[in-house]
Amino acid sequence: MTTLLDTGAVAPASAPASPAGSARVARTRRSGASWAWFGLIPFTAYIVLFLAVPTLLAIGSGFFTEDGSFTWSNVAALGDPVVLTTFANSAGLSLLTAVVGAVVGALVCYVLLGLDPAGTIRQAVDAAAGVLAQFGGVMLAFAFIAMIGIRGVLTVFLKDAFGIDIYANGTWLYELPGLIMPYIYFQIPLMVITFMPALAALKPQWAEANLTLGGTRLSFWLRIGLPVLAPSFLASLLLLFANAFSSYATAAALASQGSQIVPLQIRTSLTSETVLGRENLAGALALGMIVVVGVVMALYSLIQRRAARWQS
C-alpha cells in the first residue's frame, strides 16, 4: 500500500524512476488487493442469503407446484378476475393517494420554503414527516380506528352533536375505502421528504432575473418554476405510487380478513392452504407485484436522474 511519503515527496525527481517505482507500487497493491477481497465475503454472503435468494424464491416459486414441477398455472391465475380486481384495487388506491399526497405534500413544501432550514419548525416537521412516512404502519391504523372507528371519538362526536352517522351505509373503514385516509396520512409526509430538496434547489436568482425582465410571480411559476420542478414532482409521484402499492401493515391492521388489495391477497395465500385452487399463488402474486413496483421504480430513477440536473 502506497503512502503519502512515497508519492508526494519524490514526485519532482520521479520521472525516470517512475516505471520502477510504479512497478513496486503495483506489486504491493496487487498483493494487498487480493487479501482485501476476502473482506467483502461476509457482506456478500449476507446480501445473497437474505436479499437475493428470497427475492428469487419469491418470484420463482410462482412457477412451481408444491411437488416441484414447472407450471404456468399459477402465473395464469394472475388473469383470474378476482386477482385482476385486486390489482386494479391496489393500483387505483395507490394512484389516488399518490396524487393527493403529491399535491398536498408539494403545497407543504412550498410553505416550508419560507422557513429557516435550521429553525425549530423545520426540524420538527422533518422529524414528524420521517416518523409518519416510514414508521407509522400499524400504529396509524390504530389512530384511525380510535378516531373514526365504530366507537371512535369523531364518530361518537358526530353522532351526538350533529346526528350524522358516518356508518349508515356500512362500516367502510375496514374495507377498501377506509384505507384511503390512512394512506394519505403517510403519503403526504413521504412527499415532503422526497420533494423538499427539489423545491429548495430552485435558485432565488431565477426569481430575481424573472423580476428584472418584467415578469410577475405568476409568470415565474408558470414559465420557470413548474417546468423545472415537473420532473422531480413526477418522480416523487411515482415513488408515492410504489410506496402505496407495497404497503401492507396499515391494511393488515384495518382489514383483519379480506384481501381487496394485492398485499392482503398475498397474506391470504400464505396463511391458507389453497387460494383459487392453487398452492403457490403467493409466488405468482409476488411476481406480479415486483413487476409493477419494478417498472415504477425504474421510471423513477430515470426521471430522478433527469431532475437531479437542476439540483446541482
> Residues 38 to 67: which contact another protein by CB under 8 A?
39-40, 42-43, 46-47, 49-51, 53-59, 61
- The size of the interface with another protein (CB under 8 A), counted in residues, is 85
Using the contact rule CB under 8 A, the part of the chain among 13-21, 63-71, 80-88, 200-208 near another protein is 200-208
Residue 278: what are its φ and ψ, rounded to 5°? -125, 145
Shortest Å distance, C-beta 155 to another protein: 10
Which residues face 263 on adjacent strands? none
Using the contact rule CB under 8 A, the part of the chain among 14-22, 85-93, 169-177, 265-273 near another protein is 265-273
| CA 135 – CA 301 distance, rounded (Å) | 24
Q: Which three cell numbers stand for residue 157?
A: 362526536
Q: 90 near 241, Cβ under 8 Å?
A: no
Q: 89 near 261, Cβ under 8 Å?
A: yes
Going by C-beta distance under 8 Å and a sequence separation of 6 or more, which residues neighbour residue 231? 303, 304, 306, 307, 310
Segment 279 to 298, residues that bind another protein, using CB under 8 A: 282-283, 286, 289-290, 293-294, 297
Q: Which three cell numbers stand for residue 227?
A: 417546468
| CA 183 – CA 191 distance, rounded (Å) | 12
Can residue 226 be called a binding residue for another protein (CB under 8 A)?
A: no
Can residue 302 be called a binding residue for another protein (CB under 8 A)?
A: no
Segment 13 to 32, residues that bind another protein, using CB under 8 A: none
Q: Which three cell numbers stand for residue 145?
A: 380506528
Specify the residue, 52 or 88, whose C-beta has the smaller distance to another protein. 52
One-letter identity of residue 33:
A
Shortest Å distance, C-beta 63 to another protein: 13
Q: Which three cell numbers stand for residue 77?
A: 391465475
Going by C-beta distance under 8 Å and a sequence separation of 6 or more, which residues neighbour residue 247? 137, 183, 186, 263
Shortest Å distance, C-beta 121 to another protein: 9
Segment 62 to 121, residues that bind another protein, using CB under 8 A: 104, 107-108, 110-111, 113-114, 118
Specify the residue, 26 or 33, whose C-beta has the smaller distance to another protein. 33
Specify the residue, 84 or 153, whose C-beta has the smaller distance to another protein. 153
Identified binder of another protein from the candidate list 137, 198, 228, 240, rule CB under 8 A: 137
Shortest Å distance, C-beta 83 to another protein: 15
